[in-house]
């Protein structure tokens, strides 16, 4: 049972990685058109450097990021309640200890910290100009948290065995 669960998690992780990898083209070979075209270098206006211009592509707290962060928060809330439901039905949490889950305040803090770490990672990607990774951080986190919540509700209720 546990081995099939680990296999499912690995397959889900491989699927998420392969979907995300289709968007990454940094190492793609140059086409003939790219290789034959003359190189044009854009010089930033005086007084401004390229980092400032890259950061002005979009603001960090723009509408899209606000929705993505709200989605991550909603997905973590869904995961919180689905995990509590899982514990009430007598099942065991596999990612963190049951003591943390049974302490509702501590578990809520863990879920809130997960949202904070996701926003922080997105900010770091934004700060250094990796805007696609900035968005994908929230998208992947939303997908994984939602998948975990759905999985928790789909598990069968654990029935303890009693001695006859």
Rounded to whole angstroms, the Cα distance separating 7 from 57 reads 41
Confidence of residue 24 (pLDDT cuts 50, 70, 90): very low
Domains in the chain: how many in total?
1
Confidence of residue 25 (pLDDT cuts 50, 70, 90): very low
Does some domain include residue 75?
A: yes
Does some domain include residue 80?
A: yes
> 3-state class of 28 per DSSP?
coil
Per-residue pLDDT tens digits for 30-60? 555 555 555 555 555 555 555 555 545 788 9
User: Which domain covers residue 114, as residue numbers?
Assistant: 57-156
Contacts of 72 (CB under 8 A, 6+ apart): 115, 118, 119, 138, 141, 142, 145
Does some domain include residue 115?
A: yes
Does some domain include residue 7?
A: no
Does some domain include residue 127?
A: yes
Confidence of residue 161 (pLDDT cuts 50, 70, 90): confident
Query: Which pLDDT score is estimated for 98?
Result: 94
Contacts of 91 (CB under 8 A, 6+ apart): 155, 157, 158
Does some domain include residue 19?
A: no
Does some domain include residue 100?
A: yes
């Amino acid at each position: 049972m546990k081995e099939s669960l680990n296999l499912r998690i690995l397959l889900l992780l491989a699927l998420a990685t392969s979907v995300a990898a289709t968007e990454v083209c940094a190492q793609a070979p140059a086409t003939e058109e790219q290789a034959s075209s003359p190189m044009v270098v854009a010089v930033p206006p005086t007084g401004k450097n390229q980092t400032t211009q890259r950061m002005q592509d979009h603001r960090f707290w723009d509408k899209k990021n606000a929705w993505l962060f709200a989605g991550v928060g909603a997905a973590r809330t869904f995961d919180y309640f689905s995990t509590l439901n899982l514990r009430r039905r007598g099942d065991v949490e596999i990612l963190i200890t049951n003591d943390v889950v049974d302490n509702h305040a501590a578990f809520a803090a863990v879920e809130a910290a997960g949202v904070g770490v996701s926003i922080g990672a997105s900010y770091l990607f934004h700060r250094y100009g990796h805007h696609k990774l900035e968005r994908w951080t929230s998208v992947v986190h939303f997908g994984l948290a939602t998948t975990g919540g759905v999985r928790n509700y789909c598990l069968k209720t654990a029935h303890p065995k009693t001695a006859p």
